[in-house]
Structure 1
Amino acid sequence: MTDLHAKYPAISDLRHAAQRKLPKFVWEYLDSATGMEATKRRNRERLDGIGFMPSVLHGEFTPDLGTSLLGRDLPLPFGIAPVGMSGLMWADAEGHLARGAARAGIPYSLSTVATQSPEDLAPHLGQDAWFQMYPPRDQAIRSDMLKRARSAGFSTLVLTVDVPVASRRERQSRSGLTMPPRLTPRLLAQVATRPAWALAMAGRRLPRMRTLEKYAAETETALSSTAHVGYLLRTSPDWDYVQWLRDAWEGPFLLKGVLRPEDAERAETAGIDAIWVSNHAGRQFDAAPAAIDMVPVIREATQLPLIFDSGIEGGLDILRALASGADFVMLGRAFHFALAALGPKGIDHLVDMLSKDLIANMGQLGAKSLKDLPPPIRLE
């Protein structure tokens, strides 16, 4: 890992390398947000505004990065968030990510709109496999999807609640991307400028949403870059829908995309096991508050464990989120930057990079464990 740390010491380095290797339509899918991308910028700005008072004269120690979540002891306070169509970034992306998570002992989340199905990943899952659900309208499909996830070895269900309709990701649209992807002359021209990606994908069909193929025709008409086939099957859930899933799923059940404290309070009474505070990394609504600003507010409203994503770019950001009231942090884009930049070895490199960053910053804070983090301060 030493040479990789010299060349790629930060997530920003992996991001730049990924951009150089991915065709424009793939890059725009991964990196873009919606609207003017103000929410994406706001996530970064508000994280940067969180500081700590450094500690001195606390002697030598080795920080303990371990934590617990949903009854499980974990070696690190972060995991891999679900990203739809991961296979656009690298062939067998979901398989590589699942295996990397298992090696590190951290959670891996498979998206409903991934390019591999729960059955595909069954041989590769660790003990902390989460299945992220975009809510099917049809109850029979819903029941079947839960059965497939459970049979494959997924122990935790994540319902994404902040995507009631397709967002307008303008950068994706301008790139010429459709769902499912079709290699038009315009996209082929982009592929021609990225030979490494083309070679890695050689001999493979363009990725499709494997979980949904059972429920949708193979010859589905091409949709816009954001309104994929999943939107033809799914609904905008309500609290009755949440209760149905709670009753149907045996195991931890999370709501992802919560920003309002009143929703967290109601989730607690509905038997939800954890709240995932997120604004979908700015990909859904461009007038949302920075997700990090809502963590302390939601922390006051509920005793449930809080998971956080949106804007994380390093170990210090993870500590900022934990000190603000989160119990765990998930990263989506960062792991896909690592995979696109370096292939499968990028996953292990990112885990090692984040671990070293956590240790370095905890040393500055005199925090021997994550429970010892000092209260954050606002730098503005």
Structure 2
Amino acid sequence: MSLDLRYPALSDLKAACKRRVPWFVWEYLDSATGTESVKPRNRAALDAVLFQPAVLRGAITPDLQTQFLGQDYAMPVGIAPIGMSGLIWPGAEAALAQMAQTTRLPYCLSTVATRLPEEIGPIAGDMGWFQLYPPKDPKIRADILTRARNAGFRTLVLTVDLPGPSRRERQLRAQLAIPPKLTPSMLWQIAQCPSWALGTLRHGQPRLRLMEAYLKLDGNAPSTAHPGYLLRAAPDWDYVQAVRALWDGPLVIKGVIEPQDALRLRDTGADAIWVSNHGGRQFDGAPAALHALPRIRAAIGPDMPLIFDGGVESGLDVLRALALGADFTMLGRGWHYALGALGPQGAQHLAQILRDDLASNMIQMGLTQPKKAHLQLWTHGPAPEI
């Protein structure tokens, strides 16, 4: 049976992932913080964006090719950074970097990945982006940026929406430590997931290798107090300027939902703004990221590049974000649901799902290019009552 018949949508991959990874891994991947109200808020905001279908337009041939920050991509979709990616699926960083290079999508490696930038940069090649959680020590900051640049990463993403750790209660209940401290319960969970277990044996225990080069721990730190958190600063505007001075390539600032912040970041030298509420993993009281997007676009004008993430699950969601002002979209959890479901093949399959869904919906809307989605926008008001 073909993958399209067994897993026609991301929701099918998500369900398979939940069955194939240990429960403590699932809780890390799928959880947010607090009551997790941001996740359904993101979903409701996307569902409220409606388009006018087009008729009598003749044959439509969608062109998904997208240029962003001086690079050509196969479609306006990329792979957002997720920390401890290799915990979710063994070898995740290398698998996603390879898929990104093959399919011509950007792959953003997290500072708190389980593999080093020197390992992943050559695999991602010209599709590689590097995400920086801001270290407190200027020497560590400079060293990490030098290593990322030497490893071949051309675009830097500075995440600014983590002034401190969040509770992430589901992770605490799952007793997840970094690196994982195996309990009898965890061993039982692992025994029920043989593919994950065997893969982990091949790739080794998931560790935050880059951060451990700067700080040694005893292995008992909870997932909300791992080396990345202990080394991390609460960045301010001077910090952004310092990073700008150190990085000579494109600089993206991630985690922005306030228009005035976007304006000031543009004037500080950012090359792109990444509109995001961190998937609800940091602040349960945040608005839907999509609600912030048109406000930021209106404030900064038409020329400043904008990236969006916040619950994107389909090609139609990509078009919704583009219609409200984004130039590019990112998924984080989605690629890892796909890896958990099918391994590296799952990531390739998700790329095909998104590509096909983009093209299918563009034909329904009479569009030849994704960036023209705003031309068919019907409404982006409150989600209708059901």
Q: How would you bin the TM-score normalised by the shorter chain?
A: over 0.9
Give unpaired runs (5+ residues) of structure 1. none
1:173 and 1:70 mapped to 2: Cα distance?
39
1:332 and 1:81 mapped to 2: Cα distance?
5
Residue 376 to residue 155, structure 1, CA distance change in 2 (3 Å):
farther
The aligned residue for residue 186 of structure 1 is 185
Deviation of 1:178 (Å): 1.0
Matched, 1:15 2:17: no
1:264 and 1:318 mapped to 2: Cα distance?
21
- Report if aligned partners of 2:121, 2:128 keep a CA contact under 8 Å in 1: no
The one-letter amino acid paired with 2:264 is R
The aligned residue for residue 78 of structure 1 is 77
Matched, 1:104 2:106: no
1:178-218 CA distance string (max 9 Å, x none): 1221112221121122222112222543200011121011x
1:72-123 CA distance string (max 9 Å, x none): 2222110100000010122211000000000011100000000001011133
The aligned residue for residue 251 of structure 1 is 249
Count of aligned pairs between the two proteins: 378
What secondary structure sits across from 1:112 in the alignment? coil
1:281-331 CA distance string (max 9 Å, x none): 111000100000111000011141100001011110000000010000011
What secondary structure sits across from 2:222 in the alignment? coil
The one-letter amino acid paired with 1:315 is G
The one-letter amino acid paired with 1:356 is D
1:160 and 1:330 mapped to 2: Cα distance?
14
Deviation of 1:376 (Å): 4.4
1:99 and 1:365 mapped to 2: Cα distance?
33
Deviation of 1:173 (Å): 0.8
- Report if aligned partners of 1:87, 1:94 keep a CA contact under 8 Å in 2: yes
The aligned residue for residue 354 of structure 2 is 354
The aligned residue for residue 152 of structure 2 is 153
TM-score for the superposition, normalised by structure 1: 0.97
The aligned residue for residue 327 of structure 1 is 327
The aligned residue for residue 369 of structure 1 is 369
Matched, 1:241 2:239: yes
Identity of aligned residues (%): 55
Deviation of 1:62 (Å): 1.2
1:199 and 1:105 mapped to 2: Cα distance?
30
Give unpaired runs (5+ residues) of structure 2. none
Residue 36 to residue 106, structure 1, CA distance change in 2 (3 Å):
same
The one-letter amino acid paired with 1:170 is E
The one-letter amino acid paired with 2:332 is G
Deviation of 1:369 (Å): 1.0
- Report if aligned partners of 1:176, 1:186 keep a CA contact under 8 Å in 2: no
| Counterpart mapping for 1:161-176 below 5 A | 161-176=160-175
1:301 and 1:247 mapped to 2: Cα distance?
25
1:254 and 1:144 mapped to 2: Cα distance?
19
Deviation of 1:221 (Å): 4.8
1:289 and 1:376 mapped to 2: Cα distance?
22
What secondary structure sits across from 2:283 in the alignment? coil
1:152 and 1:31 mapped to 2: Cα distance?
30
- Report if aligned partners of 1:15, 1:337 keep a CA contact under 8 Å in 2: yes
What secondary structure sits across from 1:247 in the alignment? helix
1:31 and 1:25 mapped to 2: Cα distance?
10
- Report if aligned partners of 1:323, 1:376 keep a CA contact under 8 Å in 2: no
The aligned residue for residue 37 of structure 1 is 36
What secondary structure sits across from 1:368 in the alignment? coil
1:143 and 1:165 mapped to 2: Cα distance?
22
The aligned residue for residue 195 of structure 2 is 196
The one-letter amino acid paired with 2:9 is A
What secondary structure sits across from 1:207 in the alignment? coil
- Report if aligned partners of 1:182, 1:206 keep a CA contact under 8 Å in 2: no
- Report if aligned partners of 2:31, 2:171 keep a CA contact under 8 Å in 1: yes
- Report if aligned partners of 2:87, 2:206 keep a CA contact under 8 Å in 1: yes
The aligned residue for residue 295 of structure 1 is 293
1:250-307 CA distance string (max 9 Å, x none): 1000100000000000001101000000000111000100000111000011141100
The one-letter amino acid paired with 2:150 is S
1:29 and 1:247 mapped to 2: Cα distance?
35
TM-score for the superposition, normalised by structure 2: 0.96
Deviation of 1:224 (Å): 2.0
1:56 and 1:203 mapped to 2: Cα distance?
53
2:151 and 2:357 mapped to 1: Cα distance?
34
2:203 and 2:105 mapped to 1: Cα distance?
29
What secondary structure sits across from 1:256 in the alignment? strand
- Report if aligned partners of 2:60, 2:367 keep a CA contact under 8 Å in 1: no
What secondary structure sits across from 1:79 in the alignment? strand
1:218-270 CA distance string (max 9 Å, x none): x4351222221112111000000000000110100010000000000000110
The aligned residue for residue 141 of structure 2 is 142
What secondary structure sits across from 2:181 in the alignment? coil
Aligned CA RMSD, in angstroms, stands at 1.2
